[in-house]
Amino acid sequence: MLKQFEEIATSPKEQFDKFLLEGKKVVLCAPVYTPNEIIHSMGLIPFGTWGADMGISNAKQYYPAFICSIIQSILELGMKGSFDGASAIVIPSLCDSLKSLGENWKYAVDKIPFIPMVYPQNRKEDFGIDFTVSRYKRVIEDLERITNVQFCESSLISSLEMYNRHNKVMREFSDAVSRYSSITAEERSYVFKSSYFMDVEEHTSMVEELIELINEAPTVLDSKTRIILTGILADNANLLGIMDENKFHIVSDDLAHESRQYRVDSETEGNALLNLASKFARMDNCSVLFDPKKGRADYLLDQVKTNDANGVIFCMTKFCDPEEFDIVIIKNTLDNAGIPNVTIEIDRQMENYEQARTILQTFKEVLG
């Protein structure tokens, strides 16, 4: 089963083409949070795109070098035609780089319509929730116009239920891996990553089956070092391979690309759009969600205790300003609590991971 997850996670283009061949309409979803439930409820396929590890050439016409490579590689893929056939792309406004992606996309990839999803900074107050609902309505109007498919409130309730089920299995999967160190960092990542390129129903069933197999197997906790990853994403096979070489057991994560997507469920009674906006309002502990108290640092401390972790690795996406603001507070909090931690800088154009290897080897030696 792990091999199947790997095959899907490493072949997004094949998955994309398969949906198109089946006659399905695919809507691209950029980081960090998009209303996938709305897209799903309309019978469309929400297809995640967090860029790819690749060289950047065409996107350089639009971006200077000091923009995060996730954004640059999404635009590069669009300009190279990798998404040809997609009905639209939804790009949220959650950081300055994402805001510029939408505007650049309109000119650089004009055959795939750009749908903005504008979120309020103050998402928790009633006026913030109302604003989020109004922006969901804008997304729905655009989707209806572009795809000729009608939105239906009751279908959205079913989709909220489906996504709640998916959230639950992803949380259970992370817990199961923390008790079963035979699953490598790379394999764990493939299970999360594959979800972006699959029907949510199919991914949920596969993960449920995998959890059953893990639960039937005897607990395996060898001498690996128990680690929590934090950051935007850590999906590069070379990087994860170094973690595996050094016998790091990823017992939990606070990655935007992985567990942050699955922490909060929607209410399923009452007004569906309001429920979805309330879910967004209740989401926390993420660098792109406004939080003057920066609760993410204490959240990580709790995660370390709950998972009996030996240390934290901060996977710092180069030129990501939301994460750069958080890192100082997180580092100080972990240092003050005596939690070993280390930062590695990563980006999607890296070919050589030797610097990360040296840092991680040293971290392993320090942890013993």
Cis peptide before 32 (omega within 30 of 0): yes
**SS3 at position 323:** helix
Measured from the CB atom, is 279 or 348 closer to ligand SF4?
348
Between CA 201 and CA 196 the distance in angstroms is: 12
By beta-carbon proximity to ligand SF4, the closer residue of 48 and 322 is 322
Enter the tokens of residue 194.
Answer: 């594959």
Nearer to ligand SF4, 254 or 323 (CB): 323
Q: Which is nearer to ligand SF4, 108 or 214 (CB)?
A: 108
Q: Judged by CB, which is closer to ligand SF4: 194, or 287?
A: 287
3-state SS, residue 317 = strand
8 A C-beta contact, residue 244 and residue 186: yes
Helix (H) or strand (E) holding 134: helix 126-147
Contact set with ligand SF4 (CB under 6 A): 31-32, 68, 70-71, 95, 97-98, 232, 288, 317, 320, 322-323
| Residue 154 beta carbon to ligand SF4: minimum distance, rounded to whole angstroms | 34
The strand pair at 88-92 and 225-231 is best described as unpaired
Structure-block tokens of residue 132? 């989020």
In the complex, minimum distance from the CB of residue 363 to ligand SF4, in angstroms, rounded to a whole number: 23
Minimum distance, C-beta of residue 160 to ligand SF4, in the bound complex (Å): 25
Nearest approach, Cβ of residue 151 and ligand SF4 (Å): 27
Give least dist CB 356 to ligand SF4, A: 17
Tell me the C-alpha distance between 101 and 99, whole Å: 5
What is the rounded distance in angstroms from the CA atom of residue 229 to the CA atom of residue 219? 22
